[in-house]
Amino acid sequence: MTRLRAMAGTGRLALRTLPGQGWVRGSGPAVLSRLRDAAVVRPGFLSAAEEETLSRELEADLRRRRYEYDHWDAAIHGFRETEKSRWSEASQGILQRVREAAFDPGQALLPRVHVLDLEPRGYIKPHVDSVKFCGATIAGLSLLSPSVMRLVHTQEPADWLELLLEPGSLYILRGSARYDFSHEILRDEDSFFGERRIPRARRISVICRSAPEDMGPEEPGQPPAAS
Ligand code: OGA
Ligand code: MN
């Protein structure tokens, strides 16, 4: 653990020297500045060794599962998934680092981590995570393939962001980015970050979520994940 923490510290230090803006594009400066702390990408969050540790461990869990082509809500195509609660010590150290980077100390997290494996042609259609199952913060690690996540305001579709998610990156969606914007992972044909083509291959994401907020009876709630 001590060694992992030390590695983690080194990673964070190196990260501060990287420019922050190359990984987020938006429809305009207003939406970019409004979501600056709500939609965050941290490229190189994982070291190459950490990526390898996670992908190896996940491969063992995923291998037995079949790719599915219709999610229950049809939001995800060409995927297999698992919710994982037991992790190797090395992976626990990585996940702890994600929690520290993405969540407030008082925030309760879902106990299990969502692992989603998208095949090269797999993609995620625009949706808002259901407030029944997820609280204010979503934090995802990306492995294997780069991809583009697009956020579109549910009321003002002219307001959008694109996040470039390279392998080893961490993204965080919180508050307005999580509630007021849909998010999607573009399919290979549509996978562009601005003008830049981002070819999609198999991608695995490791997603930590905060627990749903306690909704009182008069709470209006949010629409469930769109299809
Ligand atoms: C989801 C989702 C994003 C990702 O499963 O609801 O939006 O990074 N996943 O895989
Ligand atoms: Mn989602």
Asked whether the predicted pLDDT for residue 47 surpasses 50, the reply is yes
The two three-digit tokens of residue 190, written as one number: 């549509």
Asked whether the predicted pLDDT for residue 7 surpasses 70, the reply is no
Report which of 39, 91, 32, 30 is spatially closest to residue 60, judged by C-alpha positions.
91
pTM of the predicted structure, to 2 decimals: 0.86
Protein residue with least CA distance to atom 4, ligand 1? 205
Q: Is the CB of 183 under 6 A from ligand 1?
A: yes
Asked whether the predicted pLDDT for residue 10 surpasses 80, the reply is no
Q: Is the CB of 147 under 6 A from ligand 1?
A: no
Q: Is the CB of 50 under 6 A from ligand 1?
A: no
Ligand at minimal distance from the CA of 140 is 1
Distance CA 140, CA 123 (A): 15
Q: Is the CB of 116 under 6 A from ligand 1?
A: yes
Distance 222 CA to ligand 2 centre (A): 14
Protein residue with least CA distance to atom 1, ligand 1? 129
CB half-sphere exposure, 27, CA atoms < 13 A: 13
The two three-digit tokens of residue 32, written as one number: 């970019």
pLDDT given for residue 16 in this prediction: 38
Region of residue 202 (phi > 0: left; psi between -120 and 50: alpha; otherwise: beta): beta
Please compute the mean of the pLDDT values over residues 90-111 and round it to a whole number.
97
Query: Which residues are CB-contacts of 102 (< 8 A; sequence separation ≥ 6)?
Result: 137, 139, 170, 172, 174, 208
Per-residue model confidence as pLDDT tens digits over 110-163: 999 999 999 999 999 999 999 999 999 999 999 999 999 999 999 999 999 999
Q: How confident is the model at residue 214 (pLDDT cuts 50, 70, 90)?
A: confident
Per-residue model confidence as pLDDT tens digits over 166-188: 999 999 999 999 999 999 999 99
The two three-digit tokens of residue 159, written as one number: 């307001």
Distance 52 CA to ligand 2 centre (A): 24
Q: What is the DSSP-derived secondary structure letter of residue 227?
A: -
Distance 33 CA to ligand 2 centre (A): 22
Q: Is the CB of 178 under 6 A from ligand 1?
A: no
Distance CA 15, CA 125 (A): 31
Please tell me the total number of residues recorded for the chain in this structure.
227
Distance CA 215, CA 218 (A): 8
